[in-house]
C-alpha cells in the first residue's frame, strides 16, 4: 500500500456520485476492492480503481458487473493487420523465434529466451498422458498434461509477474518434451518429431512450426482468451487459466476450425470446383474462408500461403482453384485455418495437429492476458443476467 492513494467510503461515493451503500454493492459485485487500514476504522479504496470506474460512467456506461471493453496493450487488429505490442506479427514470424515473441508478449520486450523443462514435471506430464487411450488426440493430451503439471506445482499460486513468466516458459517446455521426448533445441525443434508421421520427415518442418507458433500466439480477445481473462480475474493460477482457454477452443468455431478446413481440402483435391459447388449448394459456410474481424485479407494466411508457395506446394493448386471459384464474393478470402490446413497437407501431418499447434501457440497469448488481468481488480467480470424464467 505504500505510495498508493486511497479513498474512504465517503470519498469514493462522492467521486462516483453514488450513495455509500452503492459502494458496498460494487464491492460485492467485484467492481471495487476494499482494504483495511490499521490506522483508521472503515474500508479504503484505491483511487486508481475508483477513477477507472468513474471513467466508465462518464463514457455512458453505468457501473455494473458487465465489462464492455477490456483495456489491453498486447495485440492490435487494425486495417487487416495484426500487431503484437506494436510489432507486425508477420514480420516477427519471419525474423524472430517463438520464444523471443513469447518474451515480447509477456514482458513487452523482444529478447533471447530459452525454456527449460523441470524433469520432475516432465515425468508427471508423461505419466498423465500415458494413462490415456492410444487414440487420444493431441489437444486432449495437452489438456490432461496441463492439469497434471498444475496439480504437481506447489507454487502455482504465486501470481507475481516474474513467477508467472518463469512458470509459463517451464509449462511450454514440459508440454513439448512430454509429447516428443526431445529435450534439446528450440520449442519448434523439440516439438516437430512428435508431429511428423515419419521419422526424419521434412527438415523444413521445424521452421514452419516456429512460424506458426508466432502467427497463432495471440489474436486479441478471442473467445478462449476471454475465458482466460475471466479465470484470471478470479485469481485462478496460470495453469488453471490456460485450462480455461483449452476448454474454450474445444469446438468447431475456434480451435477445431483448421480440422474442418483440412477435411474440405481433402475432399477438394481431386475436383476443387465440384467440392466447392457441393459446399455452396448445402448452404453451409465454406471452411477456411472469411473472418469476423478482417475485411479483405487475413495477414497470417497471406504469409503462410506465401511460404508454401516458395516450396511449390502441390496443395496450392487446390487452394487456388477454390479461391478462383469464389472470386466476386465479398469477404470470402482464405483465412489462417485454410492456410494451416494447407500446411498440414504439404507436410503430411495428421489433421488433429492443427488444433494442437493452435493450443500450444495460443498458450503464449493466454499467459500474456492472464498477466494483464492479474494487475486488474479481482472478480471484475460480473454481468447481470436478464431473467426470463417463471416468476415465483
Catalytic residues: 291, 337
The DSSP H or E segment spanning 163 is: helix 161-180
DSSP 347: T
Q: How far apart are CA 102 and CA 111, in angstroms?
A: 9
Q: How far apart are CA 344 and CA 324, in angstroms?
A: 22
For the CA atoms of 255, 259, 260, 266, what is the dihedral angle to 10 degrees?
A: 160
3-state secondary structure of 349: strand
**Bridge partners for 78 per DSSP:** 81
Q: How far apart are CA 125 and CA 58, in angstroms?
A: 49
Residue found by looking up cell 506446394 in the block: 313
Q: How far apart are CA 47 and CA 359, in angstroms?
A: 38
**Bridge partners for 44 per DSSP:** 8, 35
Q: How far apart are CA 271 and CA 265, in angstroms?
A: 10
On the 0-12 / 13-18 / 19+ scale of CB atoms within 10 A, 350 is middle
- Provide φ and ψ at 278, rounded to 5°: -65, -35
144-171 as b/e: b if 16+ CB within 10 A: bbbbbbbebbeebeebeeeebbebbbbb
Using an 8 Å Cβ cutoff, are 301 and 328 in contact? no
- State the alpha helices, DSSP H only, in 216-314: 223-233, 238-248, 257-268, 272-282, 299-310
Q: How far apart are CA 38 and CA 115, in angstroms?
A: 43
Amino acid at each position: 500500500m505504500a505510495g498508493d492513494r486511497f479513498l474512504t467510503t465517503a470519498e469514493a461515493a462522492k467521486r462516483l456520485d453514488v450513495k455509500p451503500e452503492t459502494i458496498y454493492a460494487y464491492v460485492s459485485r467485484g467492481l471495487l476492492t476494499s482494504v483495511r487500514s490499521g490506522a483508521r476504522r472503515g474500508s479504503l479504496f484505491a483511487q486508481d480503481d475508483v477513477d477507472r470506474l468513474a471513467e466508465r460512467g462518464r463514457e455512458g456506461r453505468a457501473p455494473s458487473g458487465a465489462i464492455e471493453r477490456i483495456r489491453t496493450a498486447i495485440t492490435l487488429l487494425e486495417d487487416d493487420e495484426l500487431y503484437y505490442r506494436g510489432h507486425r506479427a508477420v514480420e516477427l514470424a519471419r525474423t524472430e523465434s517463438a520464444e523471443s515473441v513469447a518474451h515480447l508478449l509477456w514482458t513487452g520486450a523482444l529478447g533471447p529466451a530459452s525454456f527449460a523443462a523441470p524433469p520432475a514435471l516432465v515425468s508427471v506430464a508423461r505419466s498423465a498422458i500415458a494413462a490415456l487411450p492410444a487414440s487420444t488426440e493431441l489437444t486432449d493430451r495437452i489438456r490432461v498434461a496441463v492439469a497434471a503439471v498444475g496439480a504437481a506445482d506447489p507454487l502455482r499460486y504465486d501470481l507475481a509477474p516474474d513467477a508467472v513468466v518463469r512458470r509459463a516458459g517451464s509449462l511450454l517446455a514440459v508440454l513439448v518434451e512430454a509429447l516428443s521426448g526431445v529435450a534439446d533445441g528450440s520449442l519448434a525443434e523439440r516439438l516437430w518429431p512428435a508431429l511428423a508421421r515419419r521419422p526424419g520427415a521434412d527438415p523444413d518442418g521445424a521452421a514452419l512450426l516456429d512460424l506458426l507458433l508466432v502467427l497463432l500466439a495471440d489474436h486479441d480477445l478471442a473467445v478462449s482468451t476471454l475465458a482466460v481473462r475471466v479465470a484470471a480475474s478470479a485469481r485462478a493460477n496460470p495453469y488453471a487459466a490456460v485450462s480455461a482457454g483449452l476448454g474454450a477452443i474445444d469446438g468447431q468455431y475456434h480451435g477445431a476450425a483448421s480440422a474442418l478446413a483440412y477435411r474440405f481440402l481433402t475432399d477438394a483435391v481431386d475436383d476443387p470446383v465440384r467440392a466447392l459447388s457441393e459446399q455452396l449448394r448445402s448452404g453451409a459456410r465454406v471452411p477456411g474462408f472469411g473472418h469476423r474481424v478482417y475485411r479483405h485479407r487475413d495477414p497470417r494466411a497471406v504469409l503462410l500461403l506465401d511460404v508454401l508457395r516458395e516450396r511449390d506446394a502441390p496443395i496450392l493448386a487446390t487452394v487456388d482453384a477454390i479461391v478462383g471459384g469464389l472470386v466476386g464474393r465479398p469477404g470470402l478470402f482464405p483465412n489462417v485455418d485454410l492456410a494451416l490446413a494447407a500446411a498440414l497437407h504439404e507436410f503430411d501431418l495428421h489433421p488433429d495437429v492443427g488444433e494442437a499447434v493452435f493450443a500450444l501457440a495460443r498458450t503464449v497469448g493466454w499467459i500474456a492476458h492472464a498477466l494483464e488481468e492479474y494487475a486488474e481488480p479481482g472478480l471484475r467480470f460480473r454481468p447481470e443476467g436478464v431473467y426470463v424464467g417463471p416468476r415465483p
